[in-house]
Structure 1
Amino acid sequence: MTSTTSAFVPAVIPDELARTFTGILWAAANIAATRPEVVDAIAEAVREIGGVDDDQQLTVESVCVKAAGRRDPCALNPMLPGRRWASWAPGLTERERWECLAEIADRWSDPSDRDTGLRPGRWDEPTC
């Protein structure tokens, strides 16, 4: 039997990486893929993880906003502050939100993160 829909496999984030930039980003990517009604996946990930300081959250948001701006400069809601993820996320498709967060998470991860147990999320494309 063949599948015609993409299947999402969420990232596995070990506890020791949860509060790192990589852990926050993969958690946000998981949220973006599984709960598309959550517009600010970064803020939600930070809330769910707990113990993340404001500077970390702002750094993660800043990097993601720059990536979103490169991906789609017209995605920004001009009525909202351009430095916040929630200002950009609604202008991206659900898949673009995940891709943006996942690409940055992958870029920020260290090769040793996989030895610690990190398993990046992915979309398994349908087989025809």
Structure 2
Amino acid sequence: MTPTLTTSTGAYSPAAVPADYAATRAGILWTAANLAADTRRRYGHRMLLDVDLLAWTLNTLTQHHPRRERTIIATYPAACAAARRAAAVSNPYLTPDLHGSPNAWMSWQQAVIAHEIAEHRHPGPQLWAIFATAATLASQPGDITEGLLPGRWPDIDRHRPNHTQ
């Protein structure tokens, strides 16, 4: 039986993104991290093969925050670039010259997924880690005091298949 994200010890805590932060790079990236973790829990890796998580994040945020739609759309390319940089740092096979332009999200998402599956691991935790790293780097000093709370996944390794305890 595979452990779920709701296990009692070290459970995943999603990031809290207040409406005021929905249009920031950190807000977009933490929302994407939440979607990556939730997709892992609800649908497994097959869903990740067919979805662009950042585009899904953009759609989710513009639906939930229609008054901030213009700002969200304007900030979106910077969030994509930040996630791409974090992905490139996480894996030497994800260099920009191998995976297209900064807007070519699907190419490096697919590379992360293919690499994780080849290693017999679920890609959700790796995608979450990329978004969490990018969101942390995009955060500003006063974000936490203003209500933007980072997500936590202390037992992330337990959610990777073939992990030995």
- Could you say whether these structures have the same fold, taking a TM-score greater than 0.5 normalized by the shorter chain as the test? yes
CA distance in 2, matches of 1:11, 1:82: 29
* Poorly superposed stretches of 4+, deviation over 3 Å: 3-6, 78-82
The number of equivalent residue pairs is 123
What amino acid is aligned across from residue 53 of structure 2 in structure 1? A
| Alpha-carbon distance change, 73 to 25 in structure 1, aligned in 2, over 3 angstroms | same
Q: Confirm or deny that 1:119 pairs with 2:119.
A: no
Deviates more, 1:14-23 or 1:33-42: 33-42
| Alpha-carbon distance change, 58 to 34 in structure 1, aligned in 2, over 3 angstroms | same
Among 65, 71, 76, the residue aligned to 1:57: 76
Among 14, 17, 42, the residue aligned to 1:13: 17
What is the CA-CA distance between 1:118 and the residue it aligns to? 1.2
Counterparts of 1:6-45 in structure 2, within 5 Å, are 7-36=11-40, 37-38=47-48, 39-45=51-57
Contact residue 75 and residue 89 of structure 1 kept, 8 A: no
Percent pairwise identity: 30
> What 5-or-longer segments of structure 1 have no aligned partner?
none
What amino acid is aligned across from residue 89 of structure 1 in structure 2? Q
What is the CA-CA distance between 1:59 and the residue it aligns to? 1.6
Rg larger in 1 or in 2?
2
Contact residue 29 and residue 83 of structure 2 kept, 8 A: no
> What 5-or-longer segments of structure 2 have no aligned partner?
1-6, 41-46, 63-68, 113-122, 159-164
CA RMSD of aligned residues (A): 2.7
CA distance in 1, matches of 2:141, 2:89: 26
Bigger strand share: 1
Among 100, 106, 109, the residue aligned to 1:86: 106
TM-score, L = length of structure 2? 0.64
Write the deviation string for residues 15-55 of structure 1: whole angstroms up to 9, x where unpaired: 100111110010011011111424321111111111122x4
TM-score, L = length of structure 1? 0.80
Aligned position for 1:96:
126
